[in-house]
Copies of this chain bind each other. A is one copy, B any other.
Amino acid sequence: MSAIAYRFAVNVTPKPGILDPQGRAVEASLGHLGIVGVSGVRVGRRIELTVEAASEEAARGVAGRLAAELLANPLIEAHEIELLGSGAPGAR
């Protein structure tokens, strides 16, 4: 069984109710730019990565472990995993 390369994005966002100073900073800058009608700004991270595995399920498992153990702080951040594409290894 040959490996397939899966490209994922891990989207990490502050959980609801958690203070988000970067989001507040963006909102405070809007007036200077003359931008109106923008609210609810939340700043998180987006990590894109390739996982080589035998199946999409196995690849998602690796990405999920990485997200939970390294990329997100589960106390204050939520994460979701998004499949961007797949193909032969090395072809990304």
- A72 smallest CB distance to B (angstroms): 12
Q: Which of A1-46 contact B (CB under 8 A)?
A: 3, 7, 9, 11-13, 23, 26, 29-30, 33, 35, 37-46
- A9 smallest CB distance to B (angstroms): 8
Q: How many angstroms between the C-alpha atoms of A19 and B23 in the bound complex?
A: 26
Q: How many angstroms between the C-alpha atoms of A51 and B51 in the bound complex?
A: 35
Verify B49–A62 contact, CB threshold 8 A.
no
In the complex, the chain B residue whose C-beta lies closest to that of A26 is B70
Q: If A26-B71, A71-B26 touch, does A42 touch B47 (CB 8 Å cutoff)?
A: yes
Interface residues of A (CB under 8 A from B): 3, 7, 9, 11-13, 23, 26, 29-30, 33, 35, 37-53, 62, 65-66, 69-71, 92
